[in-house]
Amino acid sequence: MTYAAPLPERGTFDAWRIAARRAISHAIAPADLEWSGAGGLFATRPLPPEDGPHQVLVPQGFVHLASSVIWHSDPERFALLYQALWRLDRHEGTPLSQADPLGRRLHLLAKNVGRDIHKMHAFVRFRECPAKGPRRRFAAWFEPEHNTLEPGSTFFAKRFADMDWMIATPRLTAQFEDGKLTFGPAAPRPDLPDDASESLWATYFANIFNPARIKLDAMRSEMPKKYWKNLPETRLIPDMLKDAEARVQRMHAAGASQVRPGSAAISTRYRAAMPQAMPPTDTLPETLDQARTAALTCRRCALCEAATQTVWGSGSGDAALMIVGEQPGDQEDLTGRPFVGPAGQVLQQAMTAAGVDTGKVWLTNAVKHFKFTPRGKQRLHVTPDRTEVEQCRWWLGLELAFIRPKVTLALGATAAFAVTGNDAPLAARRATVEQGLHEGPVLISWHPAYILRLSDPVAQNRARDELTQDLRAAFALAQG
């Protein structure tokens, strides 16, 4: 007679732990335990109602491994874990080691589960539903390969704590309401509302899709095909792939490999350069103004904590020339406008001297929050670090995508790095044109604050003249 240990679909891990402890405390051998509990080949009886005399001491490594393996869809997972526990208890070999066939198999299952959870975090796409109260509501349909909704949902609960949402899967439904996460039985695939942002995702994806750069293997390994059907942006992939070769030829024939300035929408490389994927519910702004509004509440890095406000770019929304500085200074932080302080005055003077029509310019910064260190009553400028610049590229990329300037003028090393991805020293690059990550031309020049720091008046005048020359050249290029 074997014992049956049926396990629930929800709370499976805790239920397995209790049942395994009970079985081992009664020295029930793995061969005498049927985890499905459905009464297979042999007649079964339930586990004893109380723990037996033998207490098992479980190493932490096993609990860790089991807490992952348990969510795999392999029907043997419970039995395999129990076998490992049995052997650990009896000191039979090293069942958790990769050198042991059982250990190897368990680690492989755990790895698959980890991957599945990772894919869920990357590929769940929420759609907004009508709200019932003050909290916004979202719903998503997802088809994980394993039973990963339960372990995978805590991530969403943390990230989207201030909204209600549900994720339906073929096996289980996760519901997050008023800050409480619960799991219910599988519901039929919900009829999710059409989402304006969905077609936007698709359009966006089609725009950034560059057939000449397709790396199918990389694409498939990052975004396996089985997820494509539920991702709005990938619905276009098969058609785009079909047309890819012809498009590459058309691009060559049209000379499109000489990229039209500003034509690339948000370049794939801007996205690739972003250290973390966009949160799934981040709606891609549809206009420059929407991007500005979104940037006002940006928390992509820690600079927002101390700064007064986001300093968004200013100027003409269809400027031919975009001028990018480093970050707002003290006065910019207080007024919310770029280049209004001492460095801004140097820039304004150089623009006037260069005959730049300010109505045709967009002025902005690589980083949108002021980074400083307090010194007495003063706030002293601190150069933003690489991560901060990379985080803020999201906003700079949107400004470039919506404004589509013909030319971008990068002032100083931070701006040059933000726009081109190249962090080589500035002196040798000044007055040269490089290709930006958005694929448009980028002229490099001095930062006005650097000019102000030059103590030698001769050197300072020379640098002012050079900035003026660069502005003149950039504006002429933009006009042409």
Residue 365 lies near ligand URA (rule: CB under 6 A): yes
- Per-residue CA distances from 108 to 60, 113, 115, 199 (Å): 18, 9, 11, 38
Cβ burial, residue 355 (10 Å; 0-12/13-18/19+): exposed
Residue the block writes with tokens 């940037």? 295
Given 313, 325, 384, 441, the residue binding ligand URA (CB under 6 A): 325
Segment 419-478, which members bind ligand URA (CB under 6 A)?
Answer: 449
Q: Is 414 or 468 the residue whose CB approaches ligand URA more closely? A: 414
The per-residue DSSP string of 31-57 comes to GGEESS-S--SS-EEEPPSS--SPPPP
Counted residue by residue, the chain has a size of: 480
Using the rule CB under 6 A, give the single segment among 121-129, 166-174, 197-205, 321-329 that binds ligand URA. 321-329
User: Which residues is 4 bridged to in the sheet?
Assistant: 34, 46
If residue 172 lies in a helix (H) or strand (E), which one and from where to where?
Answer: strand 172-177
Among the residue ranges 65-73, 229-237, 325-333, 426-434, the one whose residues contact ligand URA (CB under 6 A):
325-333
Which residue in 262, 315, 341, 440 binds ligand URA (CB under 6 A)?
Answer: 341
Asked if 328 is part of the footprint of ligand URA (rule: CB under 6 A), the reply reads: yes
Cβ of residue 476: shortest distance to ligand URA, in angstroms?
23
Of 4 and 340, nearer to ligand URA (C-beta) is 340
Cβ proximity to ligand URA, 259 vs 449, nearer residue: 449
Task: Write down the least CB distance from residue 344 to ligand URA, Å.
Answer: 6
Nearest CB to ligand URA, comparing residues 232 and 344 = 344
The two structure tokens encoding residue 301: 């890095």
389 near ligand URA (CB under 6 A): no
> Please, are residues 147 and 113 in contact by the beta-carbon 8 Å criterion?
no
For position 313 contacting ligand URA by CB under 6 A, the verdict is no
- When binding is defined by CB under 6 A, the residue of 103, 285, 338, 436 that contacts ligand URA is 338
CB of 432 to ligand URA, least distance (A): 20
User: Residue 421 and residue 129: Cα distance in Å, rounded?
Assistant: 39
Looking at the DSSP assignment, which residues form a beta bridge with residue 34? 4
DSSP 232: G
Q: What is the DSSP letter of 255?
A: T
Question: Which residues of this protein are in contact with ligand URA, per CB under 6 A?
Answer: 325-329, 332, 338-339, 341, 343-344, 365, 449
